[in-house]
Structure 1
Amino acid sequence: MGQLSQKTTMLLRWAKMLGGGTAVAVEQGRGRVCVPGELRGYWNDLTGKVSPDTLLDGGGVPLSVIAGGERVHFPIAIFQYALGCNDLYLIDGGREHLDALGACASWAVAAQHPDGSWDAFGPIGSAKYTVSSMAQAEGASMLLRAARLLDEPSYEERAKAAVDFMLIPIAEGGCSVHMDGQLFLEEYPQVPRRSVMNGWVFSLFGLYDMSLADCSYVEDFECSTRSLAAHLGDYDAGFWSYYDLERRMASPAYHKLHIAQMEELAAITGMKEFSAFSERLSRYQNSGLNRARAIVRKVGQKLTEKSDAVIVQ
Structure 2
Amino acid sequence: MYIVTGGAGFIGSNIVKGLNARGITDILVVDDLTDGRKCLNLADADIRDYADKDEFLRRIEAGEGIGPVEAVIHQGACSATTEWNGQYVMQVNFAYTKALLAWCVAHDVPFLYASSASVYGMGPEFREARECERPLNMYAYSKFLFDCHLRPLLAGIRSQVAGLRYFNVYGPREQHKGGMASVAFHFDGQLREAGKLKLFEGSDGYGPGEQRRDFIHVDDVVAVNLWLLDNPKVSGIFNVGTGRAQSFNEVARAAIGWHGQGEIEYIPFPEQLKGRYQSFTEADMSALRAAGYDRQFMPVEVGVPKYMEWLAANR
Normalized against structure 2, the TM-score is what?
0.29
Greater strand share, structure number? 2
Normalized against structure 1, the TM-score is what?
0.29
